[in-house]
Structure 1
């Protein structure tokens, strides 16, 4: 060690986090042998805090900006001279970690795997991916330092973001399951879902020393299998509603269409029926079922006309049959 270096090491220091890197969340002040001298000055700038670890114990958490005087057992000019037996090194170690108190805003997030939940309306399993943005800050620096950062010299915003995002899917799945929001309603409920997810996540992230200051669910992506399943259910629902408008149940309408198709296909279902020994005249059966609906009595002429139109649209009756029955019912008005 040169004489110049010796004297420089014995002088008080000005300790600060200059040129704070935008991607850094926690940063240890570099000090040779961690022998920060008595009467050194610690500067806390806006958006910063500092944790002091003296002789292996956390002694201070400074979160208010300003200049602080440091008092240690490391006195200039005598420390190194008195420590020959420890290789000129003091056991009075003072280590300082700076941390960012400002918010970390507009962090993007997305689910790496599909989230599964049961759709409350369609009663089918749904799988979706989700994405959005969030902002966060350190809410409990001492807990974060002791349980997450540990003895690391640095802890980046990227590391924090990955840690936080790993908690998102479970909370998102739980909120979707509890909300009663269906596949078709999700886009309209994004703000409500975002607030619920944020509240649930903060209860979990508080255990890590973090707080979400903002959370947004911006969009969802459903897998092809889910779209196909819901498409089938939606088609059945639409057909059931149409049948209901015509005064028929979905089962009745499907039965009529099945009989119609079977009667038209002599080598198909009809042939299959004969091969099985059923001996059923499907054409006659279809006509009988059709006539039952055509001639069914009703006190509401308008409802009966709707039913006739439905049977025409579905190809159950012909245009001629529709016109004849329509005239018959209109004459009753």
Structure 2
């Protein structure tokens, strides 16, 4: 009883990266001198509670949460056991009454106090580096590729306590004063809900973003998750725990999806390359085919090229062969059909080869036949 008369100085311990709640520690010595040997669950009047920046202090009594201190600074506790070292208690009761009342109360509990007071601190800083990863492939409906692709996603997210009292009442297990998000039980539940929300948020972006653009859309993903009415989007209203950020480190295709994207890219590149040169290539090919066809009918290289170029200029190179097969070619000024022109030129060429016509005479007749 006398040991518990000491006034206490309670402050927060050092938090690690993922600690959400930590029990208060009592300062029991200074420079190696002095010692407070009172019970850990007794808090005397006049004790001081030091609340560091970025934390909130909770005082728990037998009835649960007795007091919440969210502002940083030092606070004097007045709802504990009377202490002979507290001036207000001494003036109000006197030293003798304080000791006699406390001794009489403890006799009935085998020397124990009926009071129980504990102090715990909630971490209000952003809790970062909570890793997540998909155990199996996720389906991503990529409208750019027009198919469902399988992906694996890896990264981390961060949370922050926005309502410490709601966290203590709804998230913290009963009668627990130390809690970390490294705890497998809490981590498993949070990760399961986060992944459900992550999948939904990622697929909501499929109409606007290709799968390769997802890592640059982490802010949009986080906003989508927060705005959800289920899973991670409910953390703030359920637990007072707000999702702050999502960092997608890597998104990988499954082997099947990677092959689909590769095939698509190859075909797309081939189509674009063809689209860029198709008109020019078709024109050149048509002219060459026409020139070769005329040359094979006896007009020679020079005549075939001249005739081919002339005919190509009058026909649509894209369907020259079809047009020639479907309808007769336009007649020259002489009124002859294309077949007649070719037959006439063939005969003139025979006369030239036989020496009956000179080259000059042949050229004049050729121009007449072709209407040049």
1:50 and 2:57 are equivalent in the alignment: yes
Unaligned runs of 5+ in 2: 26-37, 84-98, 227-232, 294-304, 314-372
Q: Which residue of the other structure, out of 234, 244, 250, is the alignment partner of 1:204?
A: 234
Q: 77-86 or 61-70, which moves further after superposition?
A: 77-86
Secondary structure of the 1:188 match is helix
Q: Are the structure 2 counterparts of residues 113 and 87 from structure 1 closer, same or farther at C-alpha, using a change threshold of 3 Å?
A: farther
Structure 1's consecutive aligned runs of 4 or more residues displaced over 6 angstroms after TM superposition are none
- Matched residue, 2:367: none
- Matched residue, 1:104: 127
CA distance in 2, matches of 1:304, 1:168: 56
1:142-157 correspondence runs (5 A) = 142-150=165-173, 151-157=175-181
Q: Are the structure 2 counterparts of residues 23 and 134 from structure 1 closer, same or farther at C-alpha, using a change threshold of 3 Å?
A: closer
1:134-213 correspondence runs (5 A) = 134-150=157-173, 151-159=175-183, 163-180=189-206, 185-191=210-216, 193-202=217-226, 203-206=233-236, 207-213=238-244
Q: Which residue of the other structure, out of 3, 7, 11, is the alignment partner of 2:2?
A: 7
Q: Is the 8 A contact 1:33 1:89 kept in 2?
A: no
Please list the CA deviations of residues 11-44 of structure 1 after superposition, one character each: whole Å capped at 9, or x if unmatched.
2211112444455321123683622222211111
- Matched residue, 1:276: none
Q: Is the 8 A contact 1:167 1:201 kept in 2?
A: no
Shift of 1:68: 1.1
Q: Is the 8 A contact 1:34 1:95 kept in 2?
A: yes
Please list the CA deviations of residues 116-167 of structure 1 after superposition, one character each: whole Å capped at 9, or x if unmatched.
1222122322111112333322111111111221222311142366554333
Q: 154-163 or 222-231, which moves further after superposition?
A: 154-163
- Matched residue, 1:296: none
CA distance in 2, matches of 1:322, 1:132: 63
Q: Is the 8 A contact 1:28 1:96 kept in 2?
A: yes
Q: Is the 8 A contact 2:290 2:308 kept in 1?
A: no
Q: Are the structure 2 counterparts of residues 81 and 218 from structure 1 closer, same or farther at C-alpha, using a change threshold of 3 Å?
A: same
CA distance in 1, matches of 2:270, 2:248: 33
Q: Are the structure 2 counterparts of residues 239 and 187 from structure 1 closer, same or farther at C-alpha, using a change threshold of 3 Å?
A: closer
Secondary structure of the 2:182 match is helix
Secondary structure of the 1:197 match is helix
Q: Are the structure 2 counterparts of residues 169 and 321 from structure 1 closer, same or farther at C-alpha, using a change threshold of 3 Å?
A: farther
1:17 and 2:12 are equivalent in the alignment: yes
Q: Which residue of the other structure, out of 93, 118, 126, is the alignment partner of 2:141?
A: 118
Q: TM-score, normalised by structure 2?
A: 0.60
Q: Is the 8 A contact 1:144 1:208 kept in 2?
A: yes
CA distance in 2, matches of 1:190, 1:242: 30
Q: Is the 8 A contact 1:115 1:128 kept in 2?
A: yes
CA distance in 2, matches of 1:27, 1:329: 92
Shift of 1:46: 1.6
1:1-333 correspondence runs (5 A) = 6-29=1-24, 32=39, 34-76=41-83, 77=99, 78-150=101-173, 151-159=175-183, 163-180=189-206, 185-191=210-216, 193-202=217-226, 203-206=233-236, 207-239=238-270, 241=272, 302=280, 304-305=282-283, 308=285, 324=292, 330-331=309-310, 332-333=312-313
Aligned length: 262
Shift of 1:59: 2.6
Secondary structure of the 2:20 match is strand
Secondary structure of the 2:108 match is helix
CA distance in 1, matches of 2:309, 2:250: 52
Unaligned runs of 5+ in 1: 1-5, 248-300, 310-319
Q: Are the structure 2 counterparts of residues 62 and 230 from structure 1 closer, same or farther at C-alpha, using a change threshold of 3 Å?
A: same
Q: 18-27 or 232-241, which moves further after superposition?
A: 232-241
